Amino acid sequence: MATVDEIDQDEMAAAMAAMDAEEDEASEERVYRPSPERVLNQDEIDSLLGFEVEDEQVGERTGIGAIINSALVSYERLPMLEIVFDRLVRLMTTSLRNFTSDNVEVSLDSISSIRFGDYLNSIPLPAVLAVFRAQEWDNYGMFTVDSNLIYSIVDVLLGGRRGTAAMRIEGRPYTTIELSLVQRMIEVVLQDAKAAFEPLSPVTLELDRIETNPRFAAIARPANAAILVKLRIDMEDRGGRIEMLLPYATLEPIRELLLQMFMGEKFGRDSIWESHLATELWSTKVAIDAVLDEQKITLREVMDFKVGQTLMLNNGPDDMVEMRCGGIPLARGRIGRMSNNVAVRIEHGIKFKSGHASADDISGAQPSGDR
């Protein structure tokens, strides 16, 4: 027979075995129990990748987009470029009013840097792409006209009624008439762009071709950086957008000029100030010295000068006298007398070389009168 102590030991062993089994099950549950996964929402995904909904309005990029586009050159490093495009907006407002005989308002939406390949992929179709060539810069640029502006221009130029939206037919290519009217508008804009760059650097912009497929408008490599200027054209209840794309290779010849800082309200030369400065310069009085002779003597001889002493000069009555202003030789002539004054008749002018003149640089000018 089992004793009481043996029964208690068996019960305790069984209880401990049961506790160990429960602990093993609990640990297995802790190890293998699946933890709830956190699902990212769309805003968090866009923020991680750097694809914000309003990337065009936001000046800074974040996430992977900032890393990818870190090699792009910001247009803000070209301060004069904004001045040029502001001038382009003013010129286009006037020229398009004359072109359409309608109330036209042109506004500058944004100026940004973009890769050329990314821009081609982002063009909403259908659209018209006008490739132009800058002769002096020996490179190309491009205008993109969206469908809303195309139909609006056609409607305005062909006498469409106001207050009604331009008729838009999807799924068909642009007709010859529509392309011709858009080409005329592009030529007007090109003339304005030429005038906008004129004070900075004269350039001739010529329309090269018009394309409707972005694949045939490749004017740069897909990875090349470019300046994208978005312009909005409103004609009362009609309008659309036109975009100007300039690769950085096109602007490279005038890069030094675009780096200048602009001060004041005028762009380029100020003719009023130039004429005022020229008038004041012509009326400025200067002192002219007539040098009869130059000699080198010792300081002892100078200290021995006495009142009434006569100094002998090497020039005779018929020798040349040199006229100087601020130590710079200007002319040569012969000394004489006119009324009660001692005068010099100018017989030879002196040529200037790099801001300096030499007494031996004598031109063949004729005597110009007495002085």
CATH classification code of 285-370: 2.30.330.10
Beta bridge partners of 233: 106, 240
CATH architecture of 69-272: 3-Layer(aba) Sandwich (3.40)
- Note down pLDDT in tens along the chain; length 371 residues: 555 455 556 667 676 766 766 666 555 555 445 555 667 776 677 666 655 444 444 445 556 666 655 555 555 577 788 888 888 999 998 998 888 888 888 888 888 888 888 888 888 878 889 999 988 888 899 999 888 888 888 888 887 766 555 555 565 778 888 889 988 999 999 999 998 888 888 888 888 888 888 888 888 888 888 888 999 988 877 888 899 998 888 888 888 887 876 544 445 556 788 888 888 888 888 888 888 888 888 999 889 888 988 888 887 777 888 888 888 888 888 888 888 888 888 887 766 554 444 434 433 333 333 33
**pTM higher than 0.75 for the full model?**
no
Helix, strand, coil abundance in the chain, percent, nearest 5: 40, 25, 35
Render the burial of 241-267: b for 16+ CB within 10 Å, e for the rest. Answer: bbbbbbbbbbbeebeeebeeeeeeeeb
**Which 8-state DSSP code applies to residue 312?**
-
Please list the residue range(s) of the chain that carry CATH number 3.40.1550.10: 69-272
Please list the residue range(s) of the chain that carry CATH number 2.30.330.10: 285-370
pLDDT score of 271? 73
Residues in Cβ contact with 351 at an 8 Å cutoff, skipping those fewer than 6 apart: 357, 361, 362, 363
d(CA 202, CA 136) in angstroms, rounded, equals 8
pLDDT score of 191? 92
How many Cβ atoms sit within 10 Å of the Cβ of residue 336? 13
Residue type, 360: D
Helix (H, G, I), strand (E, B), or coil: what is residue 211?
strand
